[in-house]
A and B are shown apart, each in its own frame.
Chain A
Amino acid sequence: MGNYNSLKERIIKFLFSVTGAIALLTLLGIFIFLFTTGIKAFTQISGAEFFIGREWNPTAYQEPKWGILGLIVSTVMITFGSLIIAVPLGIAAAIYLSEIAKPGVRETVKPIIEMIAGIPSVVLGLLGILFLAPAIAKLFNLNSGLNALTSSIIVGVMVLPTIVSISEDVLRSLPKEFREAGLALGATKWQMIRMTLLPAGISGLAAAVLLGLGRAIGETMVVLMVAGNSRAMPTSFFDPIRPITANIAIEIKEVVKDSLHYQTLFAMGLVLFGLTFLINFISDLIIQRQVRKYQW
């Protein structure tokens, strides 16, 4: 036992490196496939037309239009819309769970919140169509509730568990001494949370938000069902939107392999991949900084 070079260790080490390599190769393969297919689109349309064209209409009556700006704006709207809903709620819930709730309450409530993550997005989308959209339409006196607001609320609910769960872990991992020192100085509980814990955990909380953001950007099913999907450039949260994910999901079915339309959808996928990759990368950096800062 304990011999590092024993056969068992070597086999296990080998198996783990193989699985690690498979994960890495898969990622690389996906990226290469996306890149080589997506980049071909730019032999026929210019980058400027693609990125800042305001109109996307590949199945036009006469002249197809290939601008994805409206789709990007939609993606940004639903991402930030959902975060505006999920971040305050999520962090408040995390503070409650970590600092205020009794252990018994915490042990029951946290798994329940995490269970939201297990609800299939189709089901949430269905709830959105049947209940939330008509309610929103009534509340704001709109003709139809299939719009950016409704989809933001639902995606907000979907990213909530990620934010609550990670934020709670971050707060709980802060050393006990922080709390004791704060309280010993005569701070109230709220002052202690606001002036000691939140500043200390800020980078961890930021990472939780960024992970939620990554999830919100990539969400497809819900937006497909409740966002309304019209191609016009959205001007308010009461307008229907068509984020990149929904557009790819809708149109990938009709395209003939290797046509320009097919290539542009992959170019769009590349844009999406780049965005989520960047966000995950940044959140990873932040988490690492947090860990290093408080290693005792």
Chain B
Amino acid sequence: MKKYFVAIVLSLIILTAGCSSQQGVTGAAVGETVKSIEVLEVKGSDTMVQLVSTLAEEYTQFDPATRMTVTGGGSGTGIAALINGEADVADSSRAMKEKEITQAKEAGITPYEFIIGRDMLSVVVNQDNPVSELTLAQISSIFKGEITNWEEVGGNNQKITLYGRQSTSGTYVFFMEEAVKGDYSPKMRNLEGSQAIVEAVKQDQSAIGYDGLGYVIDENSRILKGIKAIKIAKDQNSKYLSPLDLSNQAEYPLSRLLYQYFAKKPEKGSALYNFLRFELSEKGQEIVTKTGFLPTTQADQKHNEALLN
């Protein structure tokens, strides 16, 4: 009996000792963090997650005192995290909505906007699909579910299968507002992540989907095997433009900006400030191009300077 009692008391002592020593360790670690290591939590757009991860990796090589974590989940996810105070930077492939800005202000946050690059949102179909040009109006009707057979837009007699992103995605929202201009057909399959769209379109001859340019081309700016990027015209009288030709950027109907949002103005000398400067530097913009996106224009740089000065 006594034996057991001793054992219990002993284990209690060991337990409490374990707790206190652990506390000691974390206490020290926290102290250290405050002194030297700054942690930046970046969250949001799946379209941008590869790009920003690469930027963060490169940046932390210059600045080993900063630790960065970059995660995806969709632009909506990032913005919600920023408002809920769970992220320092929200990547977003669409501008913040009016409603989100109000929600942020209610939470006591004034969001600041920064542009790190540009994208031409691409509409993709299977390689074997004879259709290669569509007007915005046709794309809208297809995704609304009004056009349901490829024959109606000059293709084979085959039902159309719609692939889109989840509603957390900035690409989902941007495409809805700029191309569909109405509600998506509820028959659209909602896939997780940009990569899933490419995979689905590769496998399905009847597919149509949309994705950021970075996900449909390889590092040599050639379209990936198995898929085809549709040339898009604003209306019947306009030229059909391919997202693969980067010089089309200004006129391409689905050009968009790649944003980052912060809960407070980046202070000069802070890790965040230095990171943003790095993103705009020649090296940073080179990474943007290499990941399949387009660099910022002068107008974007001007927009950014207002924030950094």
- Contact A61 B167, beta carbon cutoff 8 Å: no
- Contact A143 B207, beta carbon cutoff 8 Å: yes
Q: How far is the CB of A150 from chain B (nearest CB, A)?
A: 12
Query: In residues 247-261 of chain A, which contact B (Cβ within 8 Å)?
Result: 250-251, 253-257, 259
Q: How far is the CB of A243 from chain B (nearest CB, A)?
A: 13
Q: Which of A137, A229, A257 contacts B190 (CB 8 A)?
A: A229
- Contact B167 A229, beta carbon cutoff 8 Å: no
Known A-B contacts A143-B161, A143-B204, A144-B161; the reply to A253 vs B1 at CB < 8 A is no
Q: Count of chain B residues with Cβ under 8 Å from any Cβ of A?
A: 41
CB contacts between A and B, total, < 8 Å: 95
Q: Does A232 contact B (CB under 8 A)?
A: yes
Q: Which residues of A contact B180 (CB under 8 A)?
A: 61
Q: Which residues of A contact B181 (CB under 8 A)?
A: 61
- Contact A257 B77, beta carbon cutoff 8 Å: no
Q: How far is the CB of A237 from chain B (nearest CB, A)?
A: 15
What per-residue 1/0 map shows which CB atoms of B187-228 lie under 8 Å from chain A? 111111000000010011111000000000000000000000
Q: Does A196 contact B (CB under 8 A)?
A: no
Query: In residues 1-46 of chain A, which contact B (Cβ within 8 Å)?
Result: 6-8, 11
- Contact A55 B186, beta carbon cutoff 8 Å: yes
Known A-B contacts A230-B187, A230-B189; the reply to A254 vs B161 at CB < 8 A is no
Known A-B contacts A253-B168, A254-B168; the reply to A230 vs B188 at CB < 8 A is yes
Q: Which residues of B contact A225 (CB under 8 A)?
A: 192
What per-residue 1/0 map shows which CB atoms of B1-39 lie under 8 Å from chain A? 100110010000000000000000000000000000000
Q: Does B251 contact A (CB under 8 A)?
A: no
Q: Count of chain A residues with Cβ under 8 Å from any Cβ of B?
A: 35
Closest chain B residue, CB of each to CB of A250: B166
Known A-B contacts A8-B1, A144-B204, A256-B83; the reply to A57 vs B188 at CB < 8 A is no
Q: Does A60 contact B (CB under 8 A)?
A: yes
- Contact A61 B76, beta carbon cutoff 8 Å: no
Q: Does A240 contact B (CB under 8 A)?
A: yes
Give CA–CA (A229, B165) in the complex, Å: 10
Known A-B contacts A144-B189, A230-B190, A256-B80; the reply to A7 vs B166 at CB < 8 A is no
- Contact B187 A253, beta carbon cutoff 8 Å: no
Give CA–CA (A134, B207) in the complex, Å: 14
A interface secondary structure, majority? loop
Q: Which residues of B contact A70 (CB under 8 A)?
A: 186
Q: Which of B4, B73, B84, B161 contacts A8 (CB 8 A)?
A: B4
Q: Which residues of B contact A59 (CB under 8 A)?
A: 76, 167, 172-173, 176
Q: Does B183 contact A (CB under 8 A)?
A: yes
Q: Does B182 contact A (CB under 8 A)?
A: yes
Q: Does A269 contact B (CB under 8 A)?
A: no
- Contact B186 A231, beta carbon cutoff 8 Å: yes
- Contact A256 B84, beta carbon cutoff 8 Å: yes
Give CA–CA (A238, B180) in the complex, Å: 26
Q: Which residues of A contact B186 (CB under 8 A)?
A: 55, 57, 70, 230-233
- Contact A253 B74, beta carbon cutoff 8 Å: yes
Q: How far is the CB of B83 from chain A (nearest CB, A)?
A: 5
Give CA–CA (A225, B191) in the complex, Å: 8
- Contact A224 B192, beta carbon cutoff 8 Å: yes
Q: How far is the CB of A117 from chain B (nearest CB, A)?
A: 25
Known A-B contacts A229-B190, A230-B187; the reply to A143 vs B206 at CB < 8 A is yes
Q: Does A228 contact B (CB under 8 A)?
A: yes
Closest chain A residue, CB of each to CB of B84: A257
Give CA–CA (A153, B181) in the complex, Å: 37
Q: How far is the CB of A257 from chain B (nearest CB, A)?
A: 5
A-B contacts, 6 of them at CB < 8 A, read A6-B1, A11-B8, A70-B186, A229-B190, A232-B186, A255-B80
Interface pairs A-B: 3 shortest CB-CB: A254-B76, A232-B186, A59-B167
Please list the residues of chain A having a beta carbon within 8 angstroms of any beta carbon in chain B: 6-8, 11, 55, 57-62, 70, 134, 137, 143-144, 146, 224-225, 228-233, 240, 242, 250-251, 253-257, 259
Other contacts beyond A55-B186, A232-B186, A250-B192: 17, CB < 8 A = A7-B5, A59-B172, A60-B183, A61-B176, A70-B186, A143-B159, A143-B161, A143-B204, A144-B189, A144-B207, A229-B189, A233-B186, A250-B167, A251-B167, A251-B168, A253-B73, A256-B100
